[in-house]
Amino acid sequence: MQYYLYSYLILFSLITAIGCTNKNTTEKLEDFGTVGDFSFLERNGEQISQDDLKGKVWLASFVFTRCTGPCPQVCATLARLQEKLKAIPDLRIVTFTVDPERDNPKELNLFAENFRADPKRWFFLTGKEEDLHKLIKEKFRLAVGHNSPEQSKPGNEFIHSPRIVLIDKAGHIRGYFEGTPTTPEGAAIDKFEDKIKALESHILTLAREK
């Protein structure tokens, strides 16, 4: 009983703190449809499917371990969120590789350790490239693919979105958020920190839903 009361008080404190520091986080979230069925191999060797995420609020991201572009920054942003919202038991982070031919569970595990990813709360998934890219394009509605031969250099073999996708407990996509503070061209993202605070607020709101 004391544990649940303590968890509730932490959650209430987080909601109050974020609400007081950012008045622009109350915008209504849209519904972009469901993610749908998927099943991929996690870095621990187990299969993770959409059923494992039912009843959880989760964040999706798309990276590859050899990436010299936005991937490390996206994961750094997620690491911040993992730490900031660690008191929310129903939050999960799911990172899909866009380069599954090279990103096997061992590579993903080494990569995840760089960001202190909690293996119980932050999953790194791999599988068939065709299936992963299809899910990203058709369900998450984000671009992904091989870079052109002219642009395809080590660490830049793939085109993919650096955005973070917010999914609710029913598996519905509720929003897209910036994963990096700068654009691919190096320009600063306008009000990046405010957008991260807004994402935190939305996560807390969705976590309260039954």
Query: What Rg value do the Cα atoms of the chain yield, rounded?
Result: 17
Q: Is the pLDDT of residue 189 over 50?
A: yes
Determine the pLDDT at residue 177: 96
Q: What torsion do the CA atoms of 44, 78, 23, 204 make, to the nearest 10 degrees?
A: 10
Q: Say which amino acid occupies 38.
A: F
Q: Is the pLDDT of residue 22 over 80?
A: no
In terms of pLDDT, which residue wins out, 97 or 147? Answer: 97
User: What's the pLDDT tens digit per position in 136-155?
Assistant: 999 999 999 998 876 777 77
User: What's the pLDDT tens digit per position in 42-94?
Assistant: 999 999 999 999 999 999 999 999 999 999 999 999 999 999 999 999 999 99
CA distance 203 to 90: 10
CA distance 85 to 207: 11
Q: How large is the average pLDDT for residues 161-169? A: 97
Determine the pLDDT at residue 139: 97
Phi/psi of residue 63, nearest 5 degrees:
-145, 180
From 3.40.190.10, 2.60.120.1060, 3.40.30.10, 3.40.50.720, which CATH number describes the 2-208 domain?
Answer: 3.40.30.10
User: What's the pLDDT tens digit per position in 122-137?
Assistant: 999 999 999 999 999 9
Q: Domain locations in the chain?
A: 2-208
For residue 193, give both structure tokens: 């920190």
DSSP 33-57: -B----EEEETTS-EEEGGGGTT-E
Whether the CB-CB separation of 97 and 132 falls below 8 Å is answered with yes
Strand bridging mode 122-126 / 91-97: parallel
Computed over every residue of the chain, the mean pLDDT equals 87
- As a whole-number percent, the residues of the chain with pLDDT over 70 amount to 87
For residue 196, give both structure tokens: 């991260």
